[in-house]
């Protein structure tokens, strides 16, 4: 029925407000009405007692009952009861005859017997049909003054007075002003809430169309402002993701096209005789290198795809120290070619961890392979495996790789884990790398609930380190 949140807010709170005002008015009216009724009944009781006293006093002076009820004192009492309580004064003898007002109808014999013999008061009733409708009655009976008589003061149940009506009018007026003030406040509050929501909806539609440059403006520090800030952050992340995706496609296309162009050119040169026979072996070697480069790129892309598909880790206990030695041995030829010094520090002995062995093997291989690539000839690579506390009374294994060299510039250290990212220095030193090794290593460790930390000082060293949970003994 209502499509707009603003209208829903407005209608809902209007209904709630009206119900609250109605409930308050009803409660006030009931309380005032009850209080006024109690005051009137009390006044009627006092008037009835005075009338009984005046009539009894007159009877003691020798007056007849019919004369006593028509005295000036009784007339004043009747007038006072009428003005203060809106009640009419009735006097009946024990036969039920009406002595006051003069000429009034008698009550029924049943009512007379109930009043005089059984003391029935008929507080709210028609007094056995004497009145057409139920009325509020105060009854007093006297039998000790020489003649039995009953004084009844009676008034209608619904009769109002000026105080009640005036109070009702004031309450309604105040309620209307409160309602108007509440509606204005509600309108402003609802508009304050729904306006940012409308902007969020509009921005979300823009994001769905690939336009992530739109920002949502939301003032304050409430939940709506936090939502807007979160969506703005999401839009920035999506924009960065889109840029990364475009860059990824461009890099993959470039890295695929370059070796394929080289291979195609040399193969065509060999086939058409452009490359003489004595140089064909050399160019076949170049083709072989480019094929291996393509193979590494494809393998890296497959590994990246596997990581992003969030396949399950196959964790088990294994010797991290032995894993480091195995990877180091596989790089022995490259290390010897550059004359590098290797320092392998495993502390007090082997360290066992619980993780995915194959995944951690690739992490260590990528880190050591990078260290070998970027360490200058006769440089030094230090590998350290030890245990440390994680700050929560738990021990973990720490694996660190440090190599001497020119290091990574401070403004580039935070980007080395991005896909296909290479520093300017690495572009000239590493012709065969894909720019995916560190990205894959970091993601592998994050899937283990750990992280890969990079630290570097230009002109001195570069260090990468990570932690893993220790195997349960």
Residue 306: pLDDT band with limits 50, 70, 90: low
CATH assignment of the domain containing 346:
3.30.565.10
Q: Write down how long the chain is.
A: 473
| pLDDT tens profile 143-174 | 876 788 888 888 887 655 555 666 667 777 77
Residue 427: pLDDT band with limits 50, 70, 90: very low
Residue 197 lies inside a defined structural domain of this protein: no
Residue 382: pLDDT band with limits 50, 70, 90: very high
CATH assignment of the domain containing 259:
1.10.287.130
> Does pLDDT of 91 surpass 60?
yes
Q: Are residues 263 and 370 in the same domain?
A: no
Residue 180 lies inside a defined structural domain of this protein: no
Tally of CB atoms within 10 A around 398: 18
Range of the domain at 320: 316-469
Lowest mean pLDDT among 332-341, 349-358, 410-419: 410-419
For residue 164, the model assigns a pLDDT of 63
Mean pLDDT in residue range 103-110: 87
Q: Which residue has the higher pLDDT, 233 or 420?
A: 233
For residue 280, the model assigns a pLDDT of 81
For residue 309, the model assigns a pLDDT of 60
Q: Are residues 285 and 377 in the same domain?
A: no
Residue 173 lies inside a defined structural domain of this protein: no
Q: Are residues 389 and 267 in the same domain?
A: no
CA–CA separation, 348 and 329 (whole Å): 21
Whole-number percent of the chain with pLDDT over 90: 11
CA–CA separation, 357 and 448 (whole Å): 11
Q: Are residues 294 and 331 in the same domain?
A: no
Q: Are residues 352 and 452 in the same domain?
A: yes
Whole-number percent of the chain with pLDDT over 70: 85
For residue 384, the model assigns a pLDDT of 93
Residue 340 lies inside a defined structural domain of this protein: yes
CA–CA separation, 304 and 179 (whole Å): 63
Mean pLDDT in residue range 89-113: 86
| Whole-number average pLDDT of the chain | 80
Q: Last residue of some domain: 311, 339, 362? A: 311
- Residue 171: which of 3, 308, 31 has the closest Cα? 31
| pLDDT tens profile 2-17 | 456 667 766 777 778 7
Q: Last residue of some domain: 124, 143, 164? A: 164
Q: Is the peptide bond between 226 and the residue preceding it cis, with omega within 30 degrees of 0?
A: no
Strands 341-345 and 395-404: unpaired
Q: Using N-to-C axis directions, what is the helix angle for 277-308 and 437-447, rounded to 10°?
A: 20
Q: Are residues 267 and 369 in the same domain?
A: no
pTM metric for this prediction? 0.47
For residue 6, the model assigns a pLDDT of 64
Instruction: Provide the β-strand partners of residue 401.
Output: 383, 464
Q: Are residues 372 and 445 in the same domain?
A: yes
CA–CA separation, 9 and 13 (whole Å): 6
> Does pLDDT of 364 surpass 50?
yes
| pLDDT tens profile 455-471 | 998 888 999 999 999 98
- Residue 465: which of 324, 312, 305 has the closest Cα? 324
Q: Last residue of some domain: 254, 282, 311? A: 311
> Does pLDDT of 423 surpass 60?
no
Question: Which residue is it, tokens 């290593």?
Answer: 441
The runs of H, that is alpha helices, within 273-391 are: 277-308, 320-330, 332-338, 357-374
For residue 426, the model assigns a pLDDT of 46
Q: Are residues 152 and 297 in the same domain?
A: no
Instruction: Provide the β-strand partners of residue 398.
Output: 386, 467
Find all residues with CB under 8 Å of 319, minimum gap 6, and list them.
350, 351, 352
Residue 262: pLDDT band with limits 50, 70, 90: confident
Residue 258 lies inside a defined structural domain of this protein: yes
Mean pLDDT in residue range 434-451: 83
Q: Which residue has the higher pLDDT, 200 or 126?
A: 126
What are the Cα distances from residue 138, in Å, to 121, 291, 433, 452?
Answer: 7, 116, 109, 94
Residue 401: pLDDT band with limits 50, 70, 90: very high
Choose from 78-82, 188-192, 408-412 the range with maximum mean pLDDT.
Answer: 408-412
DSSP reduced 3-state for 99: strand
For residue 398, the model assigns a pLDDT of 92
Instruction: Provide the β-strand partners of residue 383.
Output: 344, 401
> Does pLDDT of 360 surpass 80?
yes
Residue 287 lies inside a defined structural domain of this protein: yes
CA–CA separation, 249 and 242 (whole Å): 11
Q: Which residue has the higher pLDDT, 89 or 167?
A: 89
Q: State how many domains the chain has.
A: 3
Q: Are residues 230 and 260 in the same domain?
A: yes
Q: Are residues 302 and 387 in the same domain?
A: no
Q: CA-based angle 330:331:333, to the nearest 5?
A: 110
Residue 187 lies inside a defined structural domain of this protein: no
């Amino acid at each position: 029925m209502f499509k707009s949140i603003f209208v829903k807010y407005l209608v809902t709170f209007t209904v709630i407000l009206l119900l609250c005002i109605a409930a308050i008015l009803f409660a006030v009216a009931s309380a005032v009405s009850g209080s006024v009724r109690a005051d009137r009944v009390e006044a009627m009781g006092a008037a009835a007692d005075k009338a009984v006293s005046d009539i009894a006093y007159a009877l003691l002076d020798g007056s007849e009952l019919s004369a006593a009820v028509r005295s000036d004192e009784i007339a004043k009492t009747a007038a006072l009861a009428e003005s203060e309580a809106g009640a009419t004064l009735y006097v009946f003898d024990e036969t039920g005859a009406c002595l006051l007002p003069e000429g009034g109808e008698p009550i029924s014999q049943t009512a007379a017997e109930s009043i005089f013999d059984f003391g029935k008061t008929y507080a709210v009733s028609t007094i056995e049909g004497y009145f057409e409708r139920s009325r509020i009655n105060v009854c007093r009976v006297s039998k000790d003054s020489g003649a039995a008589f009953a004084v009844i003061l009676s008034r209608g149940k619904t009769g109002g007075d000026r105080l009640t009506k005036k109070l009702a009018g004031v309450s309604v007026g105040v309620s209307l002003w409160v309602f108007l003030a509440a509606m204005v406040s509600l309108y402003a509050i609802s508009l304050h809430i729904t306006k940012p929501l409308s902007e969020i909806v509009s921005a979300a539609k823009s994001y769905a169309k690939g336009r992530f440059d739109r920002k949502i403006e939301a003032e304050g520090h409430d939940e709506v402002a936090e939502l807007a800030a979160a969506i703005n952050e999401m839009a920035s992340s999506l924009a960065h993701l889109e840029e990364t995706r475009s860059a990824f496609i461009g890099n993959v296309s470039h890295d695929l096209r370059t070796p394929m162009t080289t291979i195609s050119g040399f193969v065509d040169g060999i086939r058409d005789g452009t490359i003489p026979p004595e140089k064909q072996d050399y160019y076949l070697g170049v083709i072989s290198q480019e094929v291996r480069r393509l193979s590494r790129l494809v393998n890296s892309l497959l590994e990246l795809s596997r990581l992003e598909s969030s396949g399950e880790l196959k964790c088990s206990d294994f010797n991290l120290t032995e894993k480091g030695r195995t990877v180091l041995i596989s790089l022995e030829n490259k290390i010897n070619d550059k004359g590098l010094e290797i320092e392998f520090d495993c502390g007090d002995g082997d360290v066992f961890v619980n993780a995915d062995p194959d995944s951690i093997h690739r992490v260590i291989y990528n880190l050591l392979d990078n260290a070998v690539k970027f360490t200058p000839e006769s440089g030094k690579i230090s590998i350290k495996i030890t245990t440390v506390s994680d700050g929560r009374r738990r021990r973990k294994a720490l694996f660190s790789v440090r190599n001497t060299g020119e290091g990574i510039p401070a403004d580039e250290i935070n980007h080395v884990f991005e896909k296909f990212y290479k520093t300017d220095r690495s572009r000239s030193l590493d012709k065969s790398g894909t720019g995916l090794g560190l990205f894959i290593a970091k993601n592998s460790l994050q899937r283990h609930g750990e992280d890969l930390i990079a630290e570097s000082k230009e002109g001195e060293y570069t260090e990468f380190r990570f932690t893993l949970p220790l195997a349960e003994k």
